[in-house]
Amino acid sequence: MWNFHRNPKYRNFHSVCFLIISVFLFTSLISISASTTNASSNPYDSGYEHGCDDAKISDSSDRYINQPDKGPGFHTDAFMQGYYDGYGACTNSRENTSSPGVGTFRIDAKIDFDRQAILEAGGKNLGDAWFTINGVRYGEGTYYDMIDWVYDDDVEIRGINTNSLSRVLELPYSLEPGQDISVCLNDDKGYHVCKLIVNSEEKRPEKVNFVYP
| DSSP annotation string for 146-188 | HHHHHS-TT--GGG---PPEEEEEEESS---TT-EEEEEEEET
Look up residue 206 and give its DSSP letter: E
Number of domain units in the chain: 2
Does residue 100 have a cis peptide bond before it, meaning omega lies within 30 degrees of 0? no
pLDDT score of 32 more than 80: no
Q: What pLDDT was estimated at residue 16?
A: 53
pLDDT-wise least confident of 32-36, 48-52, 152-156, 170-174: 32-36
State whether 141 and 197 are in the same domain: yes
The answer to whether residue 14 is domain-embedded is: no
The answer to whether residue 87 is domain-embedded is: yes
State whether 210 and 135 are in the same domain: yes
- Tell me the C-alpha distance between 160 and 150, whole Å: 5
Mean pLDDT across the stretch 44-55?
86
Q: What pLDDT was estimated at residue 40?
A: 47
State whether 78 and 118 are in the same domain: no
State whether 163 and 193 are in the same domain: yes
Examine the fold and report which residue of 49, 71, 102 is the final residue of a domain before the chain moves on. 102
Identify the band that residue 185 occupies on the pLDDT scale cut at 50, 70 and 90. very high
Give the residue with greater pLDDT, 30 vs 83: 83
Examine the fold and report which residue of 102, 123, 146 is the final residue of a domain before the chain moves on. 102
State whether 150 and 114 are in the same domain: yes
State whether 57 and 147 are in the same domain: no
Give the residue with greater pLDDT, 141 vs 192: 192
The answer to whether residue 78 is domain-embedded is: yes
Examine the fold and report which residue of 87, 102, 117 is the final residue of a domain before the chain moves on. 102
State whether 75 and 176 are in the same domain: no
- Tell me the C-alpha distance between 17 and 70, whole Å: 49
Q: Directed axis angle between helix 44-55 and helix 77-97, to 10°?
A: 30
Q: What pLDDT was estimated at residue 130?
A: 93
Give the residue with greater pLDDT, 56 vs 8: 56
The answer to whether residue 130 is domain-embedded is: yes
Give the residue with greater pLDDT, 36 vs 111: 111
The answer to whether residue 171 is domain-embedded is: yes
Q: What is the CA radius of gyration of the chain?
A: 27
Give the residue with greater pLDDT, 140 vs 99: 140
State whether 138 and 84 are in the same domain: no
Identify the band that residue 39 occupies on the pLDDT scale cut at 50, 70 and 90. very low
The answer to whether residue 8 is domain-embedded is: no
The answer to whether residue 60 is domain-embedded is: yes
Does residue 43 have a cis peptide bond before it, meaning omega lies within 30 degrees of 0? yes
- HSE-CB at 104 with a 13 A cutoff on CA atoms is 21
pLDDT score of 155 more than 60: no
For the chain, percent of residues with pLDDT exceeding 90: 19
Identify the band that residue 51 occupies on the pLDDT scale cut at 50, 70 and 90. confident
State whether 75 and 116 are in the same domain: no
Q: What pLDDT was estimated at residue 4?
A: 45
State whether 207 and 146 are in the same domain: yes
- Which residues constitute the domain of residue 93? 39-102
Residue 125: CB partners within 8 Å, gap ≥ 6? Answer: 117, 118, 189, 213
State whether 121 and 166 are in the same domain: yes
The answer to whether residue 34 is domain-embedded is: no
Identify the band that residue 6 occupies on the pLDDT scale cut at 50, 70 and 90. low
Q: Which amino acid is at 61?
A: S
**193, 132 in Cβ contact below 8 A?**
no
CATH number at residue 113: 2.60.40
State whether 85 and 124 are in the same domain: no
**102, 95 in Cβ contact below 8 A?**
yes
Give the residue with greater pLDDT, 25 vs 85: 85
- DSSP-derived 3-state class of residue 106: strand
